[in-house]
Amino acid sequence: MWLDISLIVIILSGIVLLGSSRIGTIIQLFAFQSLVLSSIPLQVDRAGLNWHVLTIAFGTLIVKVFVMPNFLFWAIRHVRLRREAPTILGYGKTMLLGGILVGMAFYISSKLTLPDRYFSRLFIPAAFSIFAIGLLLLVSRVKAITQVIGYLVMENGIFLFSMLLLDKTPFLIEMGILLDIFVAVLVMSIVINNITEDYEDTNTLNLTTLRD
Amino acid sequence: MLLFLILLPFSGGLLAFVLPKNSLRKILLIGVASIHLAAVLGLWSGGMPDNGSGPVFLGLDVLGKLILTVISILFAAVSVYLWGYLKNERACNRIFTGCLLLLLSSMTLVSVSAHMGLLWVALEATTLMSAPLISFERSPQNTEAAWKYVLICSVGIALALLGTIMLAISSGNFKTVFLNDLLNHASVLTPSWLKLSVIFLLVGYGTKMGLAPMHTWKPDAYAQSPAPIGGLLSGALTACPILAILRVVQICNRADLSSFIEPILMVMGVLSLGVAAVFILRQKDFSRMLAYSSVENMGIIALGLGLGQAAYWPSMFHLINNALTKGFMFMLAGNLYQHYRSRDMGQIQGVYAQNALMGVLLVLGFMSLTAIPPSGTFFSEIMILSAAVQSKHYLIAAMFIVFLSVIFIGMAKGALQMFHHGPASKQESSPMVHPVSSMAPILVLGAIILALGLHVPVFLENVLRSTQTSLGGR
């Protein structure tokens, strides 16, 4: 019950992300989505709470809800224009496309053999949906910072998927993945910082000097 | 021993961040690189590796060992080369050297990991550690290249992570992605999840490898990074995602899905060849031309893997030759850029007239790039072609020949012009001299390339044959 509600909230926050244009709102929406996401490991674990599950939930909370949004705000601290530039598709159409992707996610999931533990019928479709929404956000926006958020939303979808394997994935690997994503955002923030120093904006349409 | 190979460059990298002087860091770099190389070569004296059969995180089979050796040789060559190269760069090299050593550590981890999740973690680490190397010179163009590189590769690798998780889901009852478990129980993997996972893994690791149409970061990243780093990225770093793809091929062959994966690899390979051919023809920048040549060679390797059994060991041989040639050519290019102060092939002219040795080396590298005999690449490309013909893929074979010819014409236009034309002005005819540290690694790599073209040692042939058994599972 609570699990289904959380999953629906996660999908909806993704759709809202697709329609938002203020960079600050986008970062906060991502933080909110990650907050709900970090409660998922506690909800799906039926064997009772153990340190493994607690560490994953707590680590996700710290890294994705507090540290990463702060990095991203740091990277754009000198940028005055904090709205997304007009996109090719427009927000309405992007949201509509997001809805279609969610539908496709449900269709694809219905074709797959379900693994023996899948917690909820919404689980795999939700993971696919979030992944696809992140990818859509990444390709439809032009500001570097929104593209990073798109990447992180994709990563949230992958995180949901990995919950299916919660009992079998080695702890070391999970921490390695979290560390990698953390460093990825760190490196991306530094590059965005450099972009804003060079161009006084994070619009990637400026990055066109290298081409064939 | 394997742990030592990972921890040595790792601790070296951390040490580089705290050392106070540029020169100390350069000594550290060469020291770590040579100990690493010695240790890796020492691994070969221990006979054929045995991986055991249990679930282990670290293990070294013949594929990993071969790729680790290529990485280590190239890294040692580049670290010696950097001794002279960094003298001309006044900037502080703390972050540069530190990240370079951490990159070696993560590349080593890729080649010794026997767990698909660990492999992913290590591969993502290689992307992150190499990004600061690309933006070393810190101009807006460098920032642009680094941004494209980090974003495209991270997204690609994220697809591969999803693929890895699907692989684990497909493994139903044991749910782990230890390589030994996967290979031993390949027949019980759930086909629907496995197929989905293979697609994600191929696209994801293919992005990191630079297969078309996910290659767009490649010319920018290689051209904007310092020339020797371009060599390291295109020679050693691309070998890492290739290893990941070899693992996928291994699993598919064991799971009787080779008829599923082979067409995908063939299409990706031929597409890369086609894209490379189009862009090489009108290329003026030498580094960018080499980058498209890297797209081409990745395509050839993917095509070879897609053609099945008969083309496996030629592909592996091609991988070795390509890695050495790329390192060789980028370092040579570094010397030329420092002399001519330009990367434009129209500006770099009359190399032979200015320095006969550099001219001869340029032609040697050109021959190996375009597979003119006697070079190892000629041999491997002919073997791949004959595998295509024998397996009755006539269309693929025809396209292979056409694209390679176009690429040959494109490169000949650029490289021979550099070799031949006289110096454009008096000012440029100042003598071309390079320090020993900038020539020695080029000469050593050149000698190995030439030797492999003339004669494949029995030892190497045995190793290549055993990679074939290891890949095919028979």
- For chain A, what are the domain ranges? 2-78+88-198
Nearest Cβ partner for B143 among A157, A179, A191: A191
Give the model confidence (pLDDT) of A152-169 as tens digits.
999 999 999 888 888 778
CA-CA distance, B146 to B156, in Å (whole number)?
A: 15
Please give the residue of chain A at the shortest CA–CA distance from B222.
Answer: A210
In angstroms, rounded to a whole number, what is the distance separating the alpha carbons of residues B185 and B179?
Answer: 10
Mean pLDDT of B27-45: 94
> Residue B429 — pLDDT band, cuts 50, 70, 90?
low
- Residue in B147, B154, B155 closest to A207 by CB: B147
Residue B427 has pLDDT above 60, yes or no: no
Q: For residue B398, what pLDDT is reported?
A: 96
pLDDT digits 0-9 by tens, B291-308? 999 999 999 999 999 998
Confidence of residue B425 (pLDDT cuts 50, 70, 90): low
Average pLDDT over residues B12-33: 92
Q: What is the value of pTM for the model shown?
A: 0.94
Average pLDDT, stretch B322-326? 96
Residue burial B163-172, b: 16+ Cβ < 10 Å; e: rest: bbbbbbbbbe
- What average pLDDT does this structure show over B343-350? 85
CB contact under 8 A, A154 and B145: no
**Least confident segment among A41-50, A92-101, A194-203, B276-285:** A41-50
Tell me the DSSP string of B373-414: SSSHHHHHHHHHHHHHHHTT-HHHHHHHHHHHHHHHHHHHHH
Q: Say what the pLDDT of residue B373 is.
A: 85
Average pLDDT, chain B: 90
pLDDT of residue B428: 53
| B472 touches A: beta carbon within 8 Å | no
Round the average pLDDT of chain A to a whole number and report it.
88
Looking at residue B47, what is its pLDDT?
59
In whole angstroms, give the CA distance from residue B465 to residue B217.
Answer: 34
- How far apart are the CA of B126 and the nearest CA of chain A, in angstroms? 10
User: Which chain B residues touch A126 with a CB distance below 8 Å?
Assistant: none
| pLDDT for the residue numbered B219 | 94
Residues in chain B: 474
**How would you class A209 by CB atoms within 10 Å of its CB: exposed for 0-12, middle for 13-18, buried for 19 or more?**
exposed
- Of B57, B143, B162, nearest to A131 by CB-CB distance is B162
Percentage of chain B lying above the pLDDT 90 cut: 69
Please answer whether residues A15 and A33 qualify as being in contact, where contact means their C-beta atoms are separated by less than 8 angstroms: no
The pLDDT confidence band at residue B426, using thresholds 50, 70 and 90, is very low
Query: What are the CB-based long-range contacts (under 8 Å, 24+) for A112-118?
Result: A112/B192, A112/B193, A112/B196, A113/B190, A113/B192, A113/B193, A115/A164, A115/B169, A115/B172, A115/B193, A116/B172, A117/A164, A118/A164
Q: Which residue of B has its CA nearest to A167?
A: B175
In this predicted structure, the answer to whether residue A97 has a pLDDT above a threshold of 90 is: yes
